[in-house]
Amino acid sequence: MSNLSATLSLATGALAAEQGALTETANNVANVNTPGYSRKEPQFAENPPVVLGPLTFGTGVSLENTAGIRDPILQLRIQQETGTQGELSAFVDAMQQVQAQFSNQGNDIGTQLSALFSSVNQLSSNPASIPLRQAVLTAASNLASTISTSANNLTAQQSNLDLSVSQAVSQVSTLTQQIAKVNGQIAALQNLHQDASTFIDQRDVLINQLSGLIDVSQIQTESGISLTTSNGTALVAGTQAFALTTQPDASGHQHIFAQGNDITAQLNSGQLGGLLQVRDQKIPSLLSSLDTLAAGISTAFNAANASGFDLNGDVGDNIFVPPPASGQGAAASMAVAITDPALIAASSDGSAGSNGNLANFAAIQSQNVIGGETPSSFYANLIFTVGNDVSNGSAEQQGSQAVLQQLQDQRGSISGVSLDEEASNMVQFQRAYDAAAQVVTTVNQMLETVINMGTT
Amino acid sequence: MSSIRVNPNILPDLLSALQQTRQQEATSTLELATGSRINQPSDDPAGAAALVSNAEQSAQADSFLRSITSINGQLQTADSTLSSVVTALQRAISLGVQGANGTLSNTDRADVAAELTGIQQQLISLANTSYQGEFIFSGTATIQPFLASSSGPSGVTYQGNNGINNVQVGTNYSLAVNQPGSQVFTAPGADVFQSISDLIATLQNNAGSSSINSAVSEVSNAFDHITSQRVFYGNAINQLNAQQNYLNSEKVDLSAAADSIGGADMAATAANLNQSELAVNAELSAMSRIGQTSLFDYLK
């Protein structure tokens, strides 16, 4: 049979358990705005009963180790989507700056191209006119400087992206060190069978940040979580972090190295993925298109000028500085080679008043001289490519944003702290505490009765 | 807890919805301000590319129109010059007919010859008409086309060439803008200067009616030739006018096309803006109420 002191200790245990539960509630309420915090639900468990003969007596309640409420699979999905989001937003940000080179209507390459052909057409109505010849040279020089400015701006932007790459890489190294450290703390606590929830939340936040920067794969191991890039480069193994380093290549662009291996081309998610895609693929391809355009125009105009005679009756020389033989860098170095307007070879018969050769200039506008296309349709395609990249990127970014938001809602519905819920729990724990306290008072009175029984 | 738990923190969702609406608001405002739906290539990549060629065609049409104005001046000058030449030759013919009249004295014939010499000078000066500093009957050689000199039989030497300039006034449409002086004034069998010079000589030499009459018919040939040359300029001017009308209507079409590719639908955009503003207000008022109360507020 049970005794009163056992009942007293049972009630005291209940008081402690309810108080502990209230502490969890307090902690949940305190962390209502903490990023990555997973709410904790107090786990009450009935104590093992005591069996005395035919009777079984309960021995009260105790609070079990409280675990954070989380869904690890959902957490993985959030990390993946954060990586996609990081990649797309870096891509779109960078491409929007690229696009600005091609948006300035009224002063863009297309307008300058039309202006050059217009000036040639004007000259044909009065081929000996020096002011009209000067207008052709001015239009040619405007076109050359617009193309070379665009090319130089793209190169400058590449250098800026380079800076962002270095910064992102050093952030990655900082995060991997922190994750390795937290891994150690989690392992230590779990070895003691203690609650590591706080550190797991912390690690989830850190891995999330890391996913926003670089592609991350998770492997659960004995010593905690190991992180690698998607192609298997180790970032964190248990308590050990592997730092990434950067080294400039021949053209001055930072390449990313992991333990001596160049992994630059293998990164395709997170901020680094987006930055590298613009720096190493989009901008070089645009630069090469501009080179093709610049080289094509320069060569075609030089050839047209060479097929006629200038105002002095001489065979025409180069109008544009001849592009490099490889074509590489043609856009950045595009420039007009002559300053004397008399040197434009308008004449086809050597007479000053002839405009016969200007038809060769005008024909360039409708000839497929730039990569099999006319100058203007080549430029229109370039505009389409840039616009399409930005518009697709933005659409994907918005889609990924919606997915991420939904995942986070889902996480919130599982792990987020609800103040209503906490308030209701608080009332519940308080009532139970009050009741247990009432039991203690009652047992106390009964004990008093028993003691007084002896003295009277 | 078996009931469905909702995400207790919906502020981030509302914030992102608010940002999206603000973005729509900004886009509509920009479209209204520029009148254009395509303010950067990404707004409509295919449309932006189409606008590049539309702008090119429009600039080309503008350029052709400017060329037309410029060469129209030159053609008009040539045409009115030839009209003066025709008048001068008419006068020369009537003087020649007068000179062939047997009742005329030698002195009278000398007077007629003197007047014809004046007409010859006038014709040389007409043939040397220039437009914007360039001689218009010199072919493509812009030096003085006709020089009075005693070396040639007609007393006038052509210094120009036979070059013809073509000016592009439309896509794949070029127009010849000059006739060389050798073709207009000194064509074999219809040489203006030779005919006048021959007429002067027959009159001065009192060569007799039949010789004078044959010299007059020579001038008459030249007259017919100049009249037929004038047709070239008249035709060219007509063609230019037609092309000018075509280009002007093409520009209207191009601008309508540009508008349908990239123009903002002002009414719809204004309505969108209005809607975004309403949505922003609604979202703001929702956000200001969210999370204000919880069960804690009701516990005493």
pLDDT digits (tens, 9 = 90+) for A175-192: 999 999 999 999 998 888
Q: Report the percentage of chain A scoring pLDDT > 90.
A: 74
Residue A111 pLDDT: 92
CA of residue A393 relative to chain centroid, distance: 12
* Cβ neighbours of residue A367 closer than 8 Å, sequence gap 6 or more: A300, A374
Contact at 8 Å (CB) between A220 and A145?
A: no
Q: Which residues contact A384 (CB under 8 A, 6 or more apart)?
A: B41, B45, B46, B48, B49
Whole-number Å distance between alpha carbons of A445 and B11: 53
Q: What local confidence, expressed as pLDDT, does residue B2 receive?
A: 52
Task: Inspect the interface and report whether the beta carbons of B48 and A110 lie closer than 8 Å.
Answer: no
Q: Are A43 and A67 within 8 A, CB to CB?
A: yes
Question: Which of A287, A201, A38 shows the shortest CA–CA distance to B8?
Answer: A38
Q: Is the pLDDT of residue A382 over 80?
A: yes
Average pLDDT over chain B reads 90
Q: Does A413 touch chain B (CB under 8 A)?
A: yes
The token pair that represents A18 in the structure block: 């309810």
Q: Do B70 and A122 touch (CB under 8 A)?
A: yes
For residue A413, give the nearest of B6, B39, B294 by CB distance: B6
Check whether A115 has a pLDDT greater than 90.
yes
Assess contact for A90 and A274: CB atoms under 8 A: yes
Distances in whole angstroms, Cα of residue A5 to Cα of each of A14, A400, A442, A450, A455? 14, 62, 12, 12, 20
What is the phi-psi region of residue A37: left when phi exceeds 0, alpha when psi lies from -120 to 50, beta otherwise?
beta
Q: In chain A, what residues touch B166 (CB-CB under 8 Å)?
A: 124, 355-356, 359
Minimal Cβ distance to B52: which of A365, A383, A411: A383
pLDDT of residue B58: 94
Task: Report the pLDDT averaged over residues A211-230.
Answer: 86
| Cα distance between residue A40 and residue A23, in whole Å | 11
- Most B CBs within 10 A among A91, A125, A312, hence the mutation to make, goes to A125
Measure the CA–CA gap between A271 and A172, rounded to whole angstroms. 11
Residue with tokens 């250098």: A159
Residues 6+ apart with CB under 8 A from A313: A347, A350, A352
Residue B6 confidence (pLDDT): 82
Is B294 within 8 Å of A423 when comparing Cβ atoms? yes
Distance CA(B200)–CA(B92), nearest Å, equals: 10
Q: Do B296 and A423 touch (CB under 8 A)?
A: yes
CB B79 within 8 A of CB B235: no
State whether B66 and A351 contact (CB < 8 Å).
no
The whole-number pLDDT of residue B292 equals: 72
pLDDT for A290 equals 96
Residue A209 predicted with pLDDT over 50: yes
Report the half-sphere exposure of A339 (CA within 13 A, side-chain side).
Answer: 0
pLDDT tens figures, A250-301: 888 999 999 888 999 999 899 999 999 999 999 999 999 999 999 999 999 9
Partner A, chain B 21-50, Cβ-Cβ below 8 Å:
39-46, 48-50
By the 10 Å C-beta count (0-12 exposed, 13-18 middle, 19+ buried), B105 is classed as exposed
Q: What is the pTM assigned to this prediction?
A: 0.85
Chain B residues in contact with A118 by the CB 8 A cut-off are: 59-60, 62-63, 66
Q: Left if phi > 0, otherwise alpha if psi is -120 to 50, otherwise beta: which for A2?
A: beta
- Could you tell me if A78 and A404 are in contact, meaning their C-beta atoms sit under 8 angstroms apart? yes
DSSP per position, A32-77: TT-TT---B--EEEEPPPEEETTEEE---EEEEPPPB---HHHHHH
Taking the CA atoms of A438, A439, A440 and A444 in sequence, report the sign of the dihedral they define.
positive
Could you read off the pLDDT of A53-101 as tens digits, one per residue? 888 888 899 888 777 888 989 999 999 999 999 999 999 999 999 998 8
Give the model's pLDDT for residue B1.
46
The arithmetic mean of pLDDT across residues A110-129, rounded, is 94
Residue A1: pLDDT over 80: no
The confidence score (pLDDT) of residue A107 equals: 81
CA-CA-CA-CA torsion sign (A378, A383, A386, A389): negative
- A&B contacts, CB < 8 Å: 190
Closest listed residue to residue B244, CA positions, set B166, B169, B168 = B169
Nearest residue, CB atoms, A412 vs list B8, B59, B174: B8
Residue reference for tokens 């000589």:
B201
pLDDT in tens, chain B (300 residues): 456 788 888 888 888 889 999 999 999 999 999 889 998 999 999 999 999 989 999 999 999 999 999 999 999 999 999 999 999 999 999 999 998 888 888 888 899 999 999 999 999 999 999 998 889 999 998 778 888 887 777 888 899 999 999 999 998 899 999 999 999 999 888 999 999 999 999 998 888 888 999 999 999 999 999 999 999 999 999 999 999 999 999 999 999 999 999 898 899 999 999 999 999 999 998 888 876 778 888 877
How many whole angstroms from its chain centre is CA A112? 36
Any B CB within 8 A of A86 CB: no
Mean residue pLDDT across chain A: 91
Mean local confidence (pLDDT), A445-450: 89
